[in-house]
Amino acid sequence: MVFVGPSSDSILEMGLKHRAREIAIQAKVPVVPGTDLLESEDEVLAAAERLGYPVMLKATGGGGGMGLQVCKSTEDVSAAFAMVRSRGEKLFKNSGLFLEKYYLNSRHIEVQVFGNGTETVHFGERECSIQRRHQKVIEECPSPFVAAHPELRQQLTECATRYAMRLNYKSAGTVEFLVDDESGGFFFLEMNTRLQVEHGITELCYDVDLVALMLRQADMEKLGAGGIPSSELRSLQKPGPTSAAIEARIYAEDPYRGFAPSPGIFQEVHWPEQEGVRIDTWVQSGQDVSLHYDPLLAKVMVHAPTREQAIEKMGDICSEGIALKGPTTNLDFLRKVMASDAFDKGDTLTNFLDTRFAYEPCGIDIISPGAYSTIQDFPARASIGHGVPKSGPMDNITARIANLLVHNAPGTEVIEMTLFGAELLFTSAAVVSVCGASALVTVDGSERPMWSTLVVKAGQTLKIGTVSGVGCRMYLAVRGGFPNIPLFCGSRSTTPSLKFGGTQGRTIRKGDFLQLTDLTSTWAAETHEYTLPSAMIPPMEVKEVYVLQGPHDSDDIMTMADKDMLYNTEWKVGHNSNRTGVRIIGPAPEWARKDGGEAGSHPSNYLDYGYPSPGGVNWGGDSGCIFSVDSPNFGGLICSTTVISAEMWKLGQLKPDTSFRMIPVSLEDAVQQIRRVDLCLSAIADEIDGKLAAAVQPVWSLGRSDIIPYGAVLQTVQASSENPLRPKVVYRQAGDRFLLIEFGEQRTDIAVVALIRLLMEKLESLADLTLLLTPHVGSVTIEYDPFQISQSKLLSRIHEIESNILATIDITIPCREIRLPLVMDHPDVQECIQRYMDTVRNKAAYLPDNIEYLRKCNGLQSRREVFEKMLHTEYVVVAVGFLCGAPMLFPLNPTFLQCQKYNPTRVSTPGGTLGLGGSIVAAYPIEQPGGYMIVARSLELWDPFGTKPGFTSERPWMFEPFDKIKFYEVSVEEYDLLALDFSAGRYQWQVSESSFNVREAYDTFQKAKSDASVLEYKRRQQEGLKEQEQIERGLYSTWKAEIESEEKAELGGESTVDLNDTNSVSSPMAANVWKVEVKPGDELKEGQLISILEAMKMEVNIYAQKSLAGLKVDAILKKPGSIVGAGDVILSAK
């Protein structure tokens, strides 16, 4: 074995800077005036006086800019002495220090040398003068200063090779010099006994591979030859560079904040591949850059015949060639350095960044982000499907108007804020507009109007206050949008619940910096402020939301009394509403059926199907929720009703604790309302542009339509009496953009699965229609454009296609077979169930052990037997969606497991969890909400960056319909290692080509109908399901009664406190009390945190006001877990 590099003696000698300085003197290489090692502060002070200020105090073991301090006075020396000595001891285990004269106007130029132990050659010089805190940022080869003073190259290289020869140097090394810009005099600084970060630009200019040379030198040493033959080494010597190269170091640092570390996830990374460009990097899309490591992301090198061409190429690369979207980097900083006159002239001294260049970032500094603030554009991800939510602004009309006011395209990205606005410092002038729910808007404390075109000057602060009165959300548009926000599936919208899009898949945070386009200041200077006429502003108070019946308010599912209740109740908006769904509080349906059959024991359970999402009024148990923009695209709960497309914006302004009605309208009115909204927006655009606006007045009201018993059902085709393979077909209305086609009798049937496959092939071949298809185990949901084809024509056309399909099971479908690891009782799953018990529901038939519950439901003998059923059953993927491409697995074993679903559903489920709902198994690709009974856990199945094996950026999900799935067992320890491999991008999926024979699967299920053992299993299963259903009904009733009792007790407790005789703290909004941070008897201080509320996925801190200072807490009226409305008293103080 041999070390690839110089000798240990050379490394030791050069590791001590004072020793390196002594060798330079011996080699007759000029050195910076300085001292030997100094022992005391007094010695340092005396030496500084002799040398003359400024001086550099250096740790002898230092390097990389660490352990040195510039001192301009005796005070600086006194302040630096202990610090430099301490850093030397801590970082380099050597407390020795010395002084050198500091040259303010100087350059850092280094010479690349290579030796074989007896002879040394050089490969010219590099200039590394542009430094930040003594860390190199930009390097050049050749040095522009040396290029302008050709005689200097020979002097520098002769000194460098002479120095290396003094050491009998072997391998690559760098001799660094300080060059006085005024006199051209140069001084030895140090020698680095390694390959420098910037070696690549030397390789480009001298056509040499330094790494290969180092390896060849090591090989020769290992062979006992001492090193590369001198003749060969001399043949590599060139008189000078043949071209020019520049290297720029890209760091995860924020230049605006003094180059503070900028950790986080890089959502979009692109490095150009072109002639004359070399990039050394370790970063790709999805890379999480930690705070605990060196922030260097990449070395970008460009090569060109001349320096001027190299500068131009580097400028282009930094401007357009590189995409680094996520945390802030110094990329924009580097771009502006390249564009500066000083750099162009080669005026690149070591104080360049302090004296010759001033970075002026163009963007917005987030001082305070407001509440649940996110980046949203429109229409966002409208046509992706596969469980990728559409996202976009909750109120898409207000967002579009805000964009029109700043002369953006209507769909440009905006900042959406919920209830509480943001405070933003603009580092450059910009054109902005704030629209939405009423709030105080100020610029540097001066009130400004909403629904207006405003100009914010560089250095000014825009502050958006708290919503006052009606409405829920506000939107900030900035002309030019936010160009550095990455695209995910074609949109910049954030889906924070699933951690993708926008600013690193999360809400905006304090300290984020949103870059603006370079033209923003120019636009601001040209803009005249303007306010939109009040008649054109949409109403923020939502009293009515227009809906269409269906898909499931038909008489087979809901009674006429249910329909009267749906469309005549004043529904209250729940505090836990959010971008996934608006929770509605009101009476529970009576239901026209007892249960959901195979889909589950509750009447709201339904065989999984494609949801009309967003817009569907979804029922989980007896609780309702209107799907909003981040909702799933399928599931197993009925949607009674669908909000019409033109009314979706109203969901964004539904404020918790307010009430509204759902008003049924006709399909004709629903479709026409879409056109009316578009005409209104066009009229607003004309008004803003100063054009003669058409006489179009906003139409926000529609007439009520009669409730029809089977209004949701458009057509029913009965099952064929002659062909058992042709089931009943029901066509259901699902809003003005969705059509739901159901096959069979709400039971899983392999023949139906085959029929859906054949229909899908026909529908996918329709070239004249733009359809988004969501197939499932017993249905297909079609999303269509009502202006491309009407509902009636679409239904007629699909009915014709379906009727002409030859229903057959003699189909063999090419597919993949994928083997997945499966673990039982993973600790994360147990923690998930416990969290559900602590925060949602504490008693249920399925608690505390989902697997034990499944054992009882299916008449099995042990928990292990439940797991064995999962482990040894082969599954076929019948649908991919829900959220993040979750595969829905159909069991190819007649003795499959069956159970009901969680009620209420879970807020969170660990990624990779396998859940059972009815007879269908769902694999949760990442951590997300869910309601299926937890059985086991496999690996996560989603990569939004598309960099892991099995994924692409266009296809971040793993599975496709008709993939076959098999499992193999692993232990918890084995699973955790596999999960680490997946996270690191090392896991290789076990995938093989296969085929799915529908006839074989069908025959298996047909034979099972007369198999005595299967029939006995089904008998026990039905008994178990019925028994557990009865137990669950009792426990659910008990749980609900306990909640009601607690609420009454709270109300009773509140009445015992005389609020007229106390000071009280009230809730500013409808919310859940998460924490109370004080207790009775505590003395309050101004600004003290009293309580933390939780609402709409936000945490709201309640602080003690000045009037409460010195008072003592008298009573806690709302304990943690309580639900409060706006104005409800949380505690009282005296």
- Indicate if the pLDDT at residue 699 is higher than 70: no
The pLDDT value recorded for residue 508 is 96
Q: Are residues 333 and 371 in the same domain?
A: no
* Domain identity same for 655 and 794: no
Q: Which amino acid is at 979?
A: A
The DSSP-derived string for 654-682 is: --TT-EEEEEE--HHHHHHHHHHHHHHHH
> Two tokens at 1024?
């178990």
pLDDT of res. 1060: 53
Do 863 and 904 belong together in one domain?
yes
Strand pairing report for 812-822 and 964-969 = parallel
User: Which CATH number is 789's domain given?
Assistant: 3.30.1360.40
Count the neighbouring beta carbons within 10 Å of the beta carbon of residue 54: 15
Q: Is residue 490 part of a domain?
A: yes
Q: With respect to residue 1052, please indicate whether it lies within any of the assigned structural domains.
A: no
| Nearest Cα residue to 563 out of 670, 659, 660, 706 | 706
pLDDT tens for residues 509-554? 999 999 999 999 999 999 999 999 998 999 999 999 999 999 999 9
pLDDT tens digits for range 72-90:
999 999 888 988 988 888 8
276, 425: one domain: no
Q: Looking at the domain assignment, is residue 57 inside a domain?
A: no
Residue 737: both structure tokens together: 């953009």
Residue 551 counted as domain residue: yes
Entry pTM: 0.89
Distance (Å, whole) CA 213 – CA 204 = 15
Q: 390, 736, 400, 708: which is closest to 546 by C-alpha? A: 736
Say how far apart CA 337 and CA 639 lie, in whole Å.
57
How many helices, marked H, and strands, marked E, lie in the chain? 25, 60
CA dist 113 and 161 (Å) reads 7
Based on the domain organization, do 571 and 625 belong to the same domain?
Answer: yes
Classified as helix, coil or strand, 571 is strand
Amino acid at site 308:
E
Q: Under DSSP, is residue 1020 helix (H, G, I), strand (E, B) or coil?
A: helix
Residue 66 pLDDT: 72
Residue with tokens 């970032």: 361
What count of other Cβ atoms lies within 10 Å of the Cβ of residue 536?
A: 18
User: What are the CB-based long-range contacts (under 8 Å, 24+) for 1006-1015?
Assistant: 1008/894, 1008/895, 1011/894, 1014/894, 1014/895
Query: Given 957, 990, 1013, which residue is the final one in a domain?
Result: 1013
- The overall average pLDDT reported for the chain is 92
- Locate 247 and state its tokens: 């290297």
Does residue 1004 form part of some domain? yes
Same domain, 1005 and 885: yes
CATH number where 1124 lies: 2.40.50.100
User: What angle (nearest 5°) sits at the alpha carbon of residue 945, between those of residues 980 and 373?
Assistant: 105
Q: Which domain holds residue 458?
A: 363-533
Neighbouring CB atoms inside 10 A of 693's CB total 16
Average pLDDT over residues 964-981: 97
DSSP-based three-state secondary structure for 762: helix
State percent of the chain over pLDDT 70: 97
Q: Are residues 820 and 780 in the same domain?
A: no
Q: What is the mean pLDDT of residues 452-473?
A: 96
**Do 1002 and 809 form a contact (C-beta atoms < 8 A)?**
yes
Buried b (16+ CB within 10 A) or exposed e, 328-342: bbbbbbbbbbbebee
pLDDT for res 183: 85
Distance CA 780, CA 800 (A): 15
CATH number of the domain bearing residue 270: 3.30.470.20
Predicted local distance difference test score (pLDDT) of residue 1058: 52
**Which ranges of 479-580 would DSSP assign to H, the alpha helix?**
520-526, 560-568
Pick the last residue of a domain from 960, 988, 1013: 1013
User: 532-536: long-range contacts (C-beta < 8 A, 24 or more apart)?
Assistant: 532/401, 532/405, 532/451, 532/452, 532/684, 532/687, 532/688, 533/687, 535/697, 535/698, 536/680, 536/683, 536/684, 536/687, 536/698
| Edge-to-edge strands, sheet with 913-917 | 933-937, 913-917, 920-923, 886-891, 875-881, 964-969, 812-822, 990-997
Characterize the bridge pairing of strands 964-969 and 288-289. unpaired
Q: List phi, psi (to 5°) of 362.
A: -115, 100
CB 937 within 8 A of CB 823: yes
Q: How many other C-beta atoms can be found within 10 angstroms of the C-beta atom of residue 57?
A: 25
Left, alpha or beta for 993 (phi > 0: left; psi -120 to 50: alpha)?
Answer: beta
Is cis: bond before 551, omega within 30 of 0? yes
Given the structure tokens 């499959």, which residue do they identify? 896
1013 pLDDT band, cuts 50/70/90, is: very high
Residue 568 has pLDDT above 60, yes or no: yes
How are beta strands 452-456 and 605-610 bridged, if at all?
Answer: unpaired
Residues 665 and 552 in one domain: yes
Pair 424, 460: CB distance under 8 Å: no
Q: How far is CA 32 from CA 35, 113, 188, in A?
A: 9, 21, 6
Q: Which pLDDT value is given to residue 1055? A: 42
* Region 96-119 average pLDDT: 92
Residue 696, pLDDT above cutoff 60: no
For residue 86, the tally of other CB atoms under 10 A from its CB is 13
Structural contact between residues 957 and 386, judged by C-beta atoms closer than 8 angstroms: yes
Maximal CA-CA distance, the chain: 111
Q: What is the pLDDT of residue 792?
A: 97
Spatial distance between the Cα atoms of 344 and 507, rounded to a whole number of angstroms: 40
703/924: higher pLDDT: 924
pLDDT of residue 706: 85
Amino acid of residue 576: N
Q: With respect to residue 581, please indicate whether it lies within any of the assigned structural domains.
A: yes
Task: State the CATH number of the domain containing residue 589.
Answer: 2.40.100.10
**Cα–Cα distance for residue pair 1116/1094, rounded to 1 Å:** 17
Residue 629: what pLDDT? Answer: 97
The residue-averaged pLDDT of 101-107 equals: 87
Mean pLDDT value across residues 387-397: 97
DSSP character string of 1037-1087: HHHHHHHHHHHHHHHHHHHTS-GGGSEEEE-SSSEEEEEE---TTPBP-TT
Question: In terms of Cα–Cα distance, which of 459, 502, 451 is closest to 477?
Answer: 451
3-class DSSP state of 116: strand
State the alpha helices, DSSP H only, in 450-502. none
What Å distances lie between residue 450 and 299, 467, 678, 791, CA to CA? 46, 12, 22, 39
Q: How, if at all, do strands 414-418 and 473-478 pair?
A: antiparallel
Instruction: Round to whole Å and give the CA distance between 775 and 771.
Output: 12
Per-residue confidence (pLDDT) for residue 16, from 0 to 100: 85
Whether 1127 has a pLDDT exceeding 80, the answer reads no
| Total domain count, the chain | 6
pLDDT at 1097: 66
Q: Where is pLDDT greater, at 1060 or 933?
A: 933
Asked if residue 22 is part of any domain, the answer here is no
Report yes or no: 995 and 812 within 8 Å, Cβ to Cβ.
Answer: yes
Q: Which of 355, 371, 405 is the endpoint of a domain?
A: 355
Rounded alpha-carbon distances, angstroms, from residue 709 to 55, 592, 671:
91, 12, 22
pLDDT, residue 1075, reads: 86
Q: Which has more confidence, 576 or 659? A: 659
Q: How confident is the model at residue 96 (pLDDT cuts 50, 70, 90)?
A: confident
Examine the pLDDT at 1059 and tell me if it is beyond 90. Answer: no
Residue 835's SS3 state is helix
- The answer to whether position 208 is within a domain reads no
Same domain, 296 and 342: yes
Rg (CA), the chain: 35
| pLDDT for res 697 | 61
Q: Minimal CA–CA distance to 425: which of 470, 460, 388, 386? A: 460
Distance CA 96, CA 510 (A): 42
In this structure, are 648 and 797 located in the same domain? no
- Same structural domain for residues 717 and 644? no
3-state secondary structure 357-413: CCCCCCEEEEEECCCCCEEECCCCCCCCCCCCCCCCCCCHHHHHHHHHHCCCCCCCC
Q: What is the mean pLDDT of residues 104-131?
A: 95
Asked if 985 and 1119 sit in the same domain, the reply is no
> pLDDT tens across 192-217, in order?
999 999 999 999 999 999 999 999 99
181 Cβ contact partners less than 8 Å away, ≥ 6 residues apart: 105, 106, 107, 145, 349
